[in-house]
């Protein structure tokens, strides 16, 4: 029986003698390495948070005290210490443990959103409420150095600094996001870590108490500092210095790669959309010296490494700061360049105002490349890229494209960076990019992929849905239901040629890897209604809800967005209207 076997909750962690803590930490590391290497997930961040999380649970009393994990990818140790070790076999799998805190799993879990830089704002709000309710519960925010590069974090610190709220800010400083933390803050934290804080202390200058730097892998140091912080009764930063991947040499030596380890079964193989983008943007960089790229602390994951290697002066990592990235891109465009902002689709939501009023209002040539669009998979509801294709079409002058295959990604990316009078955006999923799908002919901006002599309907295959739509069309032909298939390529604004093509069919179904609200199908239906066309238009997309984690294929299949589901839906809807 190991110490870990006996941990059913934080009470068991607090009951351990200090002498047992290094043994427990070692057991937890071995457990994480085994579990995460098999299932995939955030190995490096969690190996770095072992002692820190043990200390937090020994000094504070969750769930009476409120523990707020920023981003939440480093909460595996928290899950182990709150009685969920036995469920780790199911980590990030459909129906199993989430890779982030989940209130449905435990009363110890609070923030479910995996978007960084939010924990201090939650802490500010929770602390204000507890104060008004006369509660003595304490509030603890565990925040990474990378998350501190997000603007929200400083909006919250600005507020917290003017209060006497007992908020303990555990700064988990390993000096990195994926890559080393950038900017003046990265340098300042480095100076504080080394004790060379000649320019003073940013946190103290704001009016916050500061304790540190503390060895984030020394249980006694950590408990002493957290106990002192808890007794202060005012907002305090406990600056813990940790190492990402601690205790596992491969993760310590290649910290970026082990930030998010792929499962032992490996990825689904094959060239990904990100690979295709990465090669093409580097080629474009050769042809267009005005093209520059921006990343929000995710140069590698968004495929910009090749461009950065070739053009180091033309790629800008702004930290986890998507809002700043977009408006800085607006500045770059105002000064005559063509910026490409590469972010995951889910994170562009954070910068909608900047896209709308800092870029589009000025009709600036900024191109947004939205990776991980649509159903993302194991990262769960706040990582699915399900809202960009609904919100971006309301931006006046913005053109949105969805490539169906590698050739179209290259083609549409070049079309996008050739636009000089407004913003453009491309979106593609976290998946193998598959083979090229040739067009029969082009109408307007659309590619006709299949054309029947006497079709009963039209499938509008948006982006990566093309393959499943063509397979469905083949199945439908076997049922004596011939349908045409068209790929719009540019999904917003609506192509008049697409509207005209749809008006020529009795039945049209738009198949989309995005939430149904605001999708292309709805906008097409409105346009056809204005024309008075008799066409029946349907949208076949994801529900307007938060989808749990699982594999991309499982989730798409569950919502009928595979060939079989599309076939069934077409037959069902044709029958309803017969």
Ligand X SMILES: Cc1ncc(C[n+]2csc(CCOP(=O)(O)OP(=O)(O)O)c2C)c(N)n1
Phi/psi at 236 (5° precision): -140, 140
239 is in an annotated binding site: no
Nearer to Mg ion, 214 or 555 (CB): 214
What tokens were used for 470? 């063509």
Question: For residue 276, what are the contacts with CB-CB under 8 A and spacing of at least 6?
Answer: 406, 409, 410, 433
The enclosing H or E element of 53 equals: helix 50-59
147 is in an annotated binding site: yes
Nearer to Mg ion, 49 or 85 (CB): 49
CA atoms within 13 A on the CB side of 394: 13
Binding flags for ligand DXP, 212-251, as an x/- string (CB under 6 A): ----------------------------------------
Nearer to ligand DXP, 303 or 457 (CB): 303
210 is in an annotated binding site: no
Does position 176 bind ligand DXP by CB under 6 A?
no
Indicate which single residue of 57, 58, 73, 445 sits in contact with ligand X (rule: CB under 6 A). Answer: 73
Does position 27 bind ligand DXP by CB under 6 A?
no
116 is in an annotated binding site: yes
- State how far the Cα of 99 lies from the Cα of 88, in Å rounded to an integer: 10
Which residues in 133-152 contact ligand X (CB under 6 A)?
A: 144-147
Nearer to ligand DXP, 114 or 567 (CB): 114
557 is catalytic: no
Torsion (CA) 127, 130, 134, 139 in degrees, nearest 10: -60
Which residues in 41-100 contact ligand DXP (CB under 6 A)?
A: 71, 73
**Are 395 and 356 a contacting pair, CB within 8 Å?**
yes
**Are 203 and 170 a contacting pair, CB within 8 Å?**
no
Q: How many CB atoms lie within 10 A of CB 8?
A: 13
**How many amino acids of this chain bind ligand X (CB under 6 A)?**
25
Which residues in 375-404 contact ligand DXP (CB under 6 A)?
A: 379
Three-state SS letters, 421-469: CCCEEEECCCCECCCCCCCCEEECCEEEEECCCCCCEEEEECHHHHHHH
Does position 40 bind ligand X by CB under 6 A?
no
296 is in an annotated binding site: no
Minimum CB–partner distance for residue 153 and ligand X (Å): 9
Does position 114 bind ligand X by CB under 6 A?
yes
135 is in an annotated binding site: no
Nearer to ligand DXP, 368 or 540 (CB): 368
Q: Are strands 236-241 and 167-173 parallel, antiparallel or unpaired?
A: parallel
The enclosing H or E element of 323 equals: helix 322-334
Does position 260 bind ligand DXP by CB under 6 A?
yes
Which residues in 343-372 contact ligand X (CB under 6 A)?
A: 347, 350
Per partner kind, with CB cut-offs from 5 to 8 A, the member of ligand X, Mg ion, ligand DXP, none near residue 372 is: ligand DXP
Q: Are strands 367-371 and 424-427 parallel, antiparallel or unpaired?
A: parallel
**Are 339 and 358 a contacting pair, CB within 8 Å?**
no
Catalytic residue among 84, 92, 244, 450: 244
248 is in an annotated binding site: yes
Which residues in 151-180 contact ligand X (CB under 6 A)?
A: 172, 174, 176-178
Binding flags for Mg ion, 156-195, as an x/- string (CB under 5 A): ------------------x-x-------------------
- State how far the Cα of 426 lies from the Cα of 19, in Å rounded to an integer: 55
Measured at CB, which residue is nearest to ligand X? 144
Minimum CB–partner distance for residue 149 and ligand X (Å): 8
Nearer to Mg ion, 247 or 560 (CB): 247
Indicate which single residue of 44, 72, 99, 144 sits in contact with Mg ion (rule: CB under 5 A). Answer: 144
244 is catalytic: yes
Does position 146 bind Mg ion by CB under 5 A?
yes
Phi/psi at 313 (5° precision): -80, -10
- State how far the Cα of 419 lies from the Cα of 364, in Å rounded to an integer: 9
Please report the DSSP string for 156-200 in residue order: HHHHHTTS---EEEEEEE-SBSSSBPPHHHHHHHHHHHHT--TT-
Residue 210's Cβ-count burial label (10 Å; 0-12, 13-18, 19+) is: buried
Catalytic residue among 138, 193, 350, 427: 350
The DSSP bridge partners found for residue 443 are 446
Between the alpha carbon of residue 537 and those of residues 356, 524, 525, 576, the distances in Å are: 29, 8, 6, 13
Between the alpha carbon of residue 330 and those of residues 294, 304, 362, 483, 530, the distances in Å are: 11, 19, 8, 43, 35
- State how far the Cα of 92 lies from the Cα of 199, in Å rounded to an integer: 43
Indicate which single residue of 301, 303, 455, 560 sits in contact with ligand DXP (rule: CB under 6 A). Answer: 301
Does position 327 bind ligand X by CB under 6 A?
no
Minimum CB–partner distance for residue 258 and Mg ion (Å): 13
Between the alpha carbon of residue 229 and those of residues 206, 210, 320, the distances in Å are: 17, 9, 27
115 is in an annotated binding site: yes
174 is in an annotated binding site: yes
Does position 145 bind Mg ion by CB under 5 A?
yes
576 is catalytic: no
Binding site listing for Mg(2+): 145, 174
Residues that bind ligand DXP (CB under 6 A): 71, 73, 114, 259-260, 301, 372, 379, 430
Binding stretches for Mg ion (CB under 5 A): 144-146, 174, 176
Binding-site residues for thiamine diphosphate: 73, 114-116, 146-147, 174, 248, 322
Can you give the binding site for ligand X, defined by CB under 6 A?
45, 71, 73-74, 114-116, 144-147, 172, 174, 176-178, 244, 259, 296-298, 320, 322, 347, 350
Residues that are catalytic:
244, 322, 350
């Amino acid at each position: 029986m190991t110490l870990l076997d006996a941990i059913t909750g934080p009470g068991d962690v607090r009951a351990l003698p200090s002498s047992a803590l290094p043994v427990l930490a070692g057991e937890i590391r071995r457990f994480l390495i085994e579990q995460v290497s098999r299932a995939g997930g955030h190995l490096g961040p969690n190996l770095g948070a072992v002692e820190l999380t043990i200390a937090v649970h020994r000094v504070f009393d969750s769930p009476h005290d409120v523990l707020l994990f920023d981003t939440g990818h480093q909460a595996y140790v928290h899950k182990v210490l709150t009685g969920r070790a036995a469920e780790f076999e199911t980590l990030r799998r459909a129906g199993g443990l989430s890779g982030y805190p989940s209130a449905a799993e435990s009363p110890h879990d609070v923030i479910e959103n995996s978007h960084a830089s939010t924990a201090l704002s939650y802490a500010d709000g929770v602390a204000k409420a507890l104060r008004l309710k006369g509660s003595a519960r304490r509030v603890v925010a565990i925040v990474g150095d990378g998350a501190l590069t997000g603007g929200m974090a400083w909006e919250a610190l600005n507020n917290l600094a003017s209060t006497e709220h007992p908020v303990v800010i555990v700064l988990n400083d390993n000096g990195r996001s994926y890559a080393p933390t950038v900017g003046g803050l990265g340098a300042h934290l480095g100076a504080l870590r080394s004790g060379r804080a000649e320019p003073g202390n940013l946190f103290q200058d704001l009016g916050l108490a500061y304790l540190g730097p503390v060895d984030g892998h020394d249980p006694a140091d950590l408990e002493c500092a957290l106990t002192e912080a808890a007794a202060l009764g005012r907002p305090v930063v406990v600056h813990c210095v940790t190492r990402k991947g601690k205790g596992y040499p491969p993760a310590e030596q290649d910290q970026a790669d082990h930030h998010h380890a792929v499962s032992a079964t490996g990825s689904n193989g094959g060239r990904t959309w990100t690979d295709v983008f990465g090669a093409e943007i580097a080629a474009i960089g050769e042809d267009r010296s005005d093209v520059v790229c921006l990343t929000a602390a995710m140069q590698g994951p968004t495929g910009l490494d090749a461009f950065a290697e070739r053009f180091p002066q033309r790629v800008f990592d702004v930290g986890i700061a998507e809002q700043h990235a977009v408006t800085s891109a607006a500045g770059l465009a105002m000064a005559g360049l063509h910026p490409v902002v590469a972010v995951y689709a889910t994170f562009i939501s954070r910068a909608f105002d900047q896209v709308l009023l800092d870029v589009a209002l000025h009709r600036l040539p900024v191109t947004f490349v939205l990776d991980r669009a649509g159903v993302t998979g194991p990262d769960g509801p706040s990582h699915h890229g399900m809202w960009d294709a609904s919100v971006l079409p309301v931006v006046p002058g913005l053109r949105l494209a969805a490539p169906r295959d590698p050739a179209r990604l290259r083609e549409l990316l070049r079309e996008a960076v050739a636009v000089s009078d407004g913003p453009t955006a491309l979106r593609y999923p976290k998946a193998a990019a598959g083979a090229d799908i040739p067009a029969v002919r082009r109408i307007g901006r659309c590619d006709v992929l299949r054309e029947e002599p006497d079709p009963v309907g039209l499938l509008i295959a948006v982006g990566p849905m093309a393959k499943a739509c063509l397979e469905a069309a083949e199945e439908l032909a076997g049922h004596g239901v011939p349908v045409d298939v068209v790929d719009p390529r540019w999904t917003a604004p609506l192509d008049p040629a697409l509207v005209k093509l749809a008006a020529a069919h009795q039945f049209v179904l738009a198949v989309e890897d995005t939430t149904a609200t605001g999708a292309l199908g709805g906008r097409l239906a409105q346009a056809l209604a204005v024309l008075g066309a008799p066409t029946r238009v349907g949208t076949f997309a994801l529900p307007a809800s938060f989808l749990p984690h699982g594999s991309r294929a499982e989730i798409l299949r569950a919502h009928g967005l595979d060939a079989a589901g599309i076939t069934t839906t077409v037959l069902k809807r044709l029958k309803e209207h017969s």
